[in-house]
Structure 1
Amino acid sequence: MEPITTYDGYTINYQYSPVEDAKATVIFSHGFVEYSAHYSKLASQLNAYGFNVFKYDLRGHGRTTAPLGDLEAYEDFALDLNECVQWVKDKDSTLPIYTMGFSMGGMITALYGILYPYEVSGQILLGAGLSIASQFNDVTDDEISVLKFLEMMGTTGDGGIRQLIAMDSPYVIKKTTRRFLVESLVKAPTFIQENYAMYQLPVLLIHGQQDPIITYKGSQKFYDEIASDDKEILIYPEYEHDLLRIPDAPKIIAVIAEWINRHL
């Protein structure tokens, strides 16, 4: 497939799964530590509802060529996502595009919605990292392990992230730079909170109330404060952080598909 290159010369690793007579395209941004290949089942499930699916490795993750576990500026996340959106538009400019993100990818999706308010038709935020984790301002080490990250978040994580950390893969993040954490967990959500009034896209927020990594209260605050007239939030009392690889994931994907269909 055609390469996608960032403004500063890195190559974005991606997978594109089109379907015949697609109704829309969903662009998916994954979470911290992982990479897009972990979501092959998600792509096939969304394909079954008639949606093209584009998923990619975030900057600092997976096979995208920017340095693993590092990030110079949080704005780079949005710039990279915009390159993906433009690639999809070049494929088919007639289809509506919905950007969807999980965890850190949910934060990136919301950030994109503020910085690029006219590029997509709507957004889906799943367990999004929308709360400011100011404790990472106090990190003095140049690098921090993912286990230390979880400790600073006040948790050992849920089953999903513990399984990821245990994976023997060169593409799963085991440690990250201090500036990655500050840019993505402090500066980016601070910018989002300072610009709630700039967010006006149709949006569906989904969060697990038992999430031990990212509190659902960040999603609730986002929902309460943004300027969107078309917004919906679903807080599931029984779920933790991982919403797309649990046994009930097909039910959540069905909810997402139904929401998109209502907006076509």
Structure 2
Amino acid sequence: MICSCLSGGGRYQASMCQGRPLYAETTSTWQASDGATVPFCRWLPPHGMRSKGIVIAVPGLDEACVEWARLGRHLSKQGYEVFSSDLRGQGRDLAHPQRGNYHRWQRWVQDVNEFAARQKKGRNLPVAYVGQSLGSVLALAAASSAPAGNAPAALVLQSPALVLPYPPWYARPLVAVAQIATLNLARVTGPAALKLGRNVVMSNTADEMLWEMSPDRLCKGFSYRYLSACFDAGHHVRNLPARHSAPVLVQYGRSDKLFDLAQRSPQEFLDTFHSSDKELWPHPDPKANHDLLNDRLMRDVTLKKTSAWLDQHMVTVR
């Protein structure tokens, strides 16, 4: 079980997962241009090690920034500065009323670019965006809308959730009614809904009870307007790859059930990118599922592939 907490000293206390420390990263908050205060995590290289570049990790649906700990620890030891900001409406978002009910996906995208610019602070370092699931959708949207001079030099999309089924025209009135009523099935049905979601996107070797029990996921359910914002974001980015020319790596599990809903295969999705430097990487284990970094049998290979690819592409763009 995951049980990290935020202490007054500004650090997540080390949590234990099967007897091993899981989280021990430095945390803080940053202020967005609209005045909102947003929590974030950072993992920095050892003292004296020269920075190779900056990695901005974008959480997926119902994820907290702290859940990038494995990637953060792995990359920081190799010289990367890794930062991850919570998405508004989930994680440890300080604005209680909007937890599970946030609906401005454009602001999620703007936050990614603002947060990245703050971490770069004018330094001549390459920046990469890494997204997981919904985070891949937001990372792609942010990369395509980043101001000149601040666009990421590389993009890693893990299990991109472009398969989110956008409601057909005849169902949208029902969605609108549900949004007005802010009906929240997950809160009504309790952990069962989250367990169903976990079974869809995780294999049975994923960290147990991650979705249901982690206090870093303070929102235990989502309104329809929140989920509709996710659908809108996925629908918006479907044509954005044609505008993206930076190197891109798409990672996915061959047993990812979400791809059963996809209108495009992973290869068809990759083919839409304008970039001449693009790679599709299916996890070598045929049992690999959606959440590659939380699966204890799949994560090490995923981490090694991600760091090796960044080493190659962050060097070439300097």
Task: Specify the TM-score bucket, using the shorter chain as the normaliser.
Answer: 0.7 to 0.9
> Deviations 1:155-200 (Å, cap 9, x if unpaired)?
644244872232052634311121111111x211111113332222
Pair 168,188 (structure 1): closer, same or farther in 2 beyond 3 Å:
closer
Tell me the distance in 1 between the aligned counterparts of 2:60 and 2:70. 16
Query: 1:226 is matched with which residue?
Result: 273
Pair 8,100 (structure 1): closer, same or farther in 2 beyond 3 Å:
same
User: 156-165 vs 48-57, which deviates more?
Assistant: 156-165
- Which of these residues, 118, 126, 138, is aligned with residue 108 of structure 1? 138
User: Aligned partner of 1:86: which letter?
Assistant: A
Query: 1:248 is matched with which residue?
Result: 298
Q: 1:40-59, aligned counterparts within 5 Å?
A: 40-59=69-88
Q: 1:1-264, aligned counterparts within 5 Å?
A: 3-19=29-45, 20-66=49-95, 67-90=98-121, 93-116=123-146, 118=148, 119-135=151-167, 137=172, 138-139=174-175, 140=178, 142=182, 143-145=184-186, 148=193, 156-158=200-202, 159=204, 160=206, 163-167=209-213, 169=215, 171-184=217-230, 186-215=231-260, 217=264, 219-236=266-283, 237-246=286-295, 247-263=297-313, 264=315
Q: SS in structure 1 opposite 2:279? A: strand
Tell me the distance in 1 between the aligned counterparts of 2:279 and 2:198. 28
Cα deviation for residue 8 of structure 1 reads 2.7
Tell me the distance in 2 between the aligned counterparts of 1:43 and 1:196. 26
Tell me the distance in 2 between the aligned counterparts of 1:104 and 1:188. 9
Tell me the distance in 1 between the aligned counterparts of 2:280 and 2:139. 16
> Deviations 1:194-223 (Å, cap 9, x if unpaired)?
333222221100000111245575643321
User: Aligned partner of 1:89: which letter?
Assistant: K
Q: Which has the larger radius of gyration?
A: 2
Q: SS in structure 2 opposite 1:62? A: coil
Q: TM-score scaled to structure 1, two decimals?
A: 0.87
Q: Is the 8 A contact 1:128 1:219 kept in 2?
A: no
Cα deviation for residue 96 of structure 1 reads 0.6
Tell me the distance in 2 between the aligned counterparts of 1:126 and 1:262. 18
Over aligned residues, Cα RMSD in angstroms?
2.7
Structure 1, gaps ≥5 residues long: none
Tell me the distance in 2 between the aligned counterparts of 1:170 and 1:228. 36
> Deviations 1:117-168 (Å, cap 9, x if unpaired)?
75211110001111242248454362231854886x8964424487223205
Q: Is the 8 A contact 2:38 2:85 kept in 1?
A: yes
Q: SS in structure 2 opposite 1:244? A: helix
Structure 2, gaps ≥5 residues long: 1-26
Q: Is the 8 A contact 1:209 1:235 kept in 2?
A: yes
User: 45-54 vs 207-216, which deviates more?
Assistant: 207-216
Q: SS in structure 1 opposite 2:130? A: strand
User: 162-171 vs 253-262, which deviates more?
Assistant: 162-171
Tell me the distance in 1 between the aligned counterparts of 2:163 and 2:152. 24
In the alignment of these two chains, the number of paired residues is 261
User: 64-73 vs 14-23, which deviates more?
Assistant: 64-73
Q: TM-score scaled to structure 2, two decimals?
A: 0.73
Tell me the distance in 2 between the aligned counterparts of 1:262 and 1:3. 31
Tell me the distance in 2 between the aligned counterparts of 1:238 and 1:168. 25
Cα deviation for residue 64 of structure 1 reads 2.6
Cα deviation for residue 245 of structure 1 reads 2.2
Pair 17,144 (structure 1): closer, same or farther in 2 beyond 3 Å:
same
User: 137-146 vs 10-19, which deviates more?
Assistant: 137-146
